Amino acid sequence: MSEVLEAPVPQSRRVRRRASQRATSLFSNGEPMVWLTGGALALCVVMIVGMLCLVAVQGSGTFWPRALERFERLGASAVLGEVVQRETYEPNAAAFAGRDEATALELRARAERAGNVAERWLVRTENFELTGTHYTWVSDFEVTARSQPEWALSIERREGGPFYGELVGFDVGGERVATEPGAAWALFEEHLPAVVERVEARRAIERDEIGRVNRALEEQRLAVRRAELEHGPDAAPTRAARELAAAREQALQSEFQRLRGEIEALVRQNERFGLMIESADGTETRIPLGQVVRAFPVNQLGLSGRIGVYGARTAEFLTDEPRESNTEGGVLPAIFGTVTMTLVMSLLVVPFGVLAALYLREYAKPGPLVSFVRIAVNNLAGVPSIVFGVFGLGFFCYFVGASIDQLFYSENLPSPTFGTGGVLWASLTLALLTLPVVIVPTEEALAAVPSSMREGSYACGATKWQTIRRIVLPRALPGILTGMILAIARGAGEVAPLMLVGAVKLAPELPIDGEAPFVHPSRSFMHLGFHIYDLGFQSPNSEAAKPMVYTTTLLLIGIVVLLNVVAIAVRAKLRRRFQGAQV
Amino acid sequence: MIRARSETLRSEVVRKSVKPSPSIGGGSTSGQASHERPTRKVFDAVSEKRTFEAELHPALLTEEMVLEVDGFSLFYGAAQALWEISMGIPKGKVTALIGPSGCGKSTLLRSVNRMNDLIDTVRISGTMRLNGDAIYAPGVDVIELRKRIGMVFQKPNPFPMSIFENVIYSLRIDGERKKSVLEEVCEASLRGAGLWEEVKDRLHDSALRLSGGQQQRLCIARAIAAEPEVLLLDEPCSALDPIATGRIEDLIEELKGSYSILMVTHNMQQASRTSDYTAFMYLGRLVEYGPTEELFVQPRLSETEDYVTGRFG
């Protein structure tokens, strides 16, 4: 090629041309751009994969039972706990502080012998009520002995967080019936099922029976209020309603007392049994069996035993309600809230977005107004989400919701029913937020339907709407679903607006449950994204909650991925149906 | 790159400026003086921006017309695309429209079922009648009108649905629900389009999986399912290979008699093979219209002869 070009060119020009070719060849042959573009992609992939790996590794390790190690320390009490982190450091004066002079000197000498480089372990010691801390740093020079005690128990409690200690006995009604760990463990395993059953019974009474009584009491109050609103505060019907309510209230109060008695009996029965645990510093603590969720001698567990504990903890996480200001227990209400809100949002936003896109693309005459609307819709995607939250709070909750309350729930006032955040308002707010995400791909999909298909339909005598419904929409459906997938991904991960319109820290009552009318769109709800924020930044001890933050993040990512995979599978199926071998 | 583009541009300019001269010259010099045909009338009409009185062969007078076009003009905005076309389309015959690109064949065809209504800037004057009913009268229901006219497009355009649903589309939009009726029409139409044997076992597969030729025959089946009074074919074979083209031509042959067909074609062999009548159009004017054989063998105008013998176009 170059020879052919060069042949007729005079000598001097040829030389100059070659030189200039060399100068530009680096860019003209495009090699650097390959590296630039490829590098940019690689950087993106590394960042995303790195983040996902971090979340996956940290999140999936939370529930794995690690060995409990006991460190005997020189000049300080022993420590029992899980090693969660290790590092080397250069000990300074602070590392030797808090001990008497002789011990400090000894420690310093030891550290210097090792070249003033020490290894230290971060030990998760728990037993917060005894030590006031969840973690302790242990340096290698202060350790005199390190062991994995056979009967070190890891106990998860209903209140007060986990407890680590060595089993020393079993107590029934204040009397120590076993002093040898093996026997105590046998007794514990014997009594635990009955105790758990009583705890469940108590929870059932609290949730169902007392809940029923409370609702009935509320009903009476509302009946009186309704009568007052209808007939005036001193009218005869109001007085009659008040008397009736008072009589019923009497019965309900006695019912309430009876239930309280039942609960107390259950509690008393459970109080009799207790595990005697000696923590690392030698204190003996009695842990009532009613407080125990799960306990296991972790150092005796083999692989299968640990997998069992891991499975049980994961199952609890996925199916239970939260405990201890959300740092323990499960996240079922949050999972349920997230999925419900996202699905309701999709149901609202997809039809709206598709109708709007249909008008813009199919019916509206192209012109400045349509262009302006289109630009406005695109820009809506760039509005900060908190602005949508404020709008949702102001419009949906305080205007629409308050109007609904005035019209239909006036007896409840001043406590709001719809006039405050709730799952319906949250879904509507997010639907508004994700509207452009649906409209833009839908419009593109509509525009991509070949005009030959429309013409063919018109030529058969179809009207515009028949053409849209039978030809355009089915053909554009994969694109519409792309919009839905994007909306789900955007909506499920959104937190800021939800904090204003209905997501709360704790809402054990689900938006859909067995209580008539089964769907409660006005209820506030828990959301995994908000849960993560709450765990990480609002909990009393965010350091201790960190593993749960990772696990919850992993779960949220998993749910978003799952919702997306379902939508993508549906789209792939539709694509196969509407597109053949030839396009 | 830039140089290459400017070269193509220049060559286009050259070709454009050169192109008419051989045709005009061809018309006068190639002579064939023995025939003594009037010449250059169309070119004069074009350069003077006026209409042209078409040469209509007397054989047309004996035919019963399904479609009558009278003084029909069409404008895209300010540009006039059709100049007072007057012609009749005989019932039960195949009529071909030929002419160089941009002569208005497709525009005329699409005016018959008012597909040009979809373009905002189109204005028309003159009349068209389908079996005596005005097509462009103010009160005409375009939807009903289109149901009386079948149309097949240049590129096969099956709908994104099953073969069965494609064929019975016009019945579906009329709200026909009876399964027996739908199945009967589907089979009859597919048989009529010569596709039944190939697809009878996969009627509920996507129509988009058919080959190009099969898709075009499916479009013909779809067009004849509504039993149209006239069937419009807009270059039905231009996107197909020779074998598929041959099958479509055979099909047109078979449909002749039961349907009145108006087809646009670029291919003069195709026009001469398949049609009974041929109309030659040039730059929006109807030039000559008559029985295909006469038009190809003994054209009355030298412009027609130049075109059908390949001297221009």
Flag if B155 and A459 touch (Cβ within 8 Å).
Answer: no
**Nearest-Cα residue of chain A relative to residue B154:** A452
Of A164, A185, A212, the position where a domain reaches its end is A164
Distance, CA of B151 to CA of B223 (rounded, Å): 6
* Residue A208, in any domain of the structure: yes
Residue A502 shares a structural domain with residue A384: yes
Residue B220 lies inside a defined structural domain of this protein: yes
Residue contact B157–A581, C-beta within 8 A: no
- Cα distance between residue A458 and residue A475, in whole Å: 16
Q: Is residue A291 part of a domain?
A: no
- CB within 8 Å of chain A, chain B residues 71-90: none
Q: Do A155 and A227 share a structural domain? A: no
Residue B131 has pLDDT above 70, yes or no: yes
Residue B313 lies in a domain: no
In a domain, B259, yes or no: yes
Q: Is A266 in the same domain as A237? A: yes
Q: Is it the case that residue B6 has pLDDT exceeding 50? A: no
Chain B: residue nearest A453 by CA? B157
Which residue ranges in chain A fall short of pLDDT 70? 1-29, 412, 514-516, 577-583
Rounded to 10 degrees, the C-alpha dihedral A68/A71/A76/A77 comes to 40
- Compute the nearest-CA separation of B217 from chain A (Å): 14
Residue A297 lies in a domain: no
B199-257 per-position pLDDT tens digit? 889 888 888 888 888 999 899 999 989 888 899 999 888 888 888 888 889 888 888 88
A385 in a structural domain: yes
Do residue A153 and residue A196 come from a single domain? Answer: no
Rounded Cα distance between B98 and A562, Å, is: 59
Same domain membership, residue A554 and residue A462: yes
Tell me A410's DSSP state: G
Q: Which pair of tokens denotes residue A59?
A: 């999140």
**What's the pLDDT score for residue A534?**
87
**B207 within some domain:** yes
ipTM of the prediction: 0.82
Last residue of a domain, one of A224, A248, A271: A271
Q: What is the CATH number of the domain that holds A513?
A: 1.10.3720.10
CB proximity B106 to A under 8 Å: no
Flag whether A354 is in a domain.
Answer: yes
Same domain membership, residue A445 and residue A338: yes
Q: Which domain holds residue B195?
A: 2-308
What is the token pair recorded at A410? Answer: 């006036």
* A chain contacts of residue B114, beta-carbon cutoff 8 Å: none
Residue A82 shares a structural domain with residue A158: yes
The answer to the question of residue B282 being in a domain is yes
Structural domains in chain A (count): 3
Residue B96 has pLDDT above 90, yes or no: yes
Question: Is B270 inside any structural domain?
Answer: yes
**What is the distance between the alpha carbons of residues B173 and B147, in angstroms, rounded to a whole number?**
10
Give chain A positions within 8 Å (CB) of B115.
455, 458-459
Angle at CA of residue A541, ends A153 and A78, nearest 5°:
40
**A180 and A217, same domain (yes or no):** yes
- Residue A522 shares a structural domain with residue A397: yes
List the 428-467 stretch of A: residues with Cβ below 8 A of B. Answer: 450, 452-453, 455-463, 466
Asked whether A465 and A359 are in contact (CB, 8 A), the reply is: no
Coil, strand, or helix at residue A149? coil
Q: What CATH number has the domain bearing residue B214?
A: 3.40.50.300
Q: In whole angstroms, give the CA distance from residue A57 to residue A51.
A: 10
Q: What amino acid is encoded at A468 in this protein?
A: I
Write down the pLDDT at residue A129.
82
Last residue of a domain, one of A233, A250, A271: A271
The rounded distance, in Å, linking the Cα atoms of A458 and A556 is 47
Say if residue A446 is in the same domain as residue A481: yes
Per residue in B262-311, pLDDT (tens digit) is: 999 988 888 898 999 999 998 888 989 999 998 898 888 888 888 888 87
Nearest to B169 among A460, A578, A581 (CB): A460
Total count of domains within chain B? 1
Of B146, B160, B226, the CB nearest to A578: B160
Closest-approach residue (CA) in chain A for B227: A460
Interface test with B, best of A5, A449, A460, A468 (most B CBs within 10 A): A460
Same domain, A133 and A256: no
Residue B239 contacts A where some CB pair is shorter than 8 Å:
no
Residue A277 lies inside a defined structural domain of this protein: no
Whole-number Å distance between alpha carbons of B226 and B232: 13
Domain extent at residue A125: 69-164
Residue A387 lies inside a defined structural domain of this protein: yes
User: Does residue A442 form part of some domain?
Assistant: yes
DSSP-derived secondary structure for B35-54: G----SHHHHHHHTT-----
CA distance B111 to chain A (A): 11
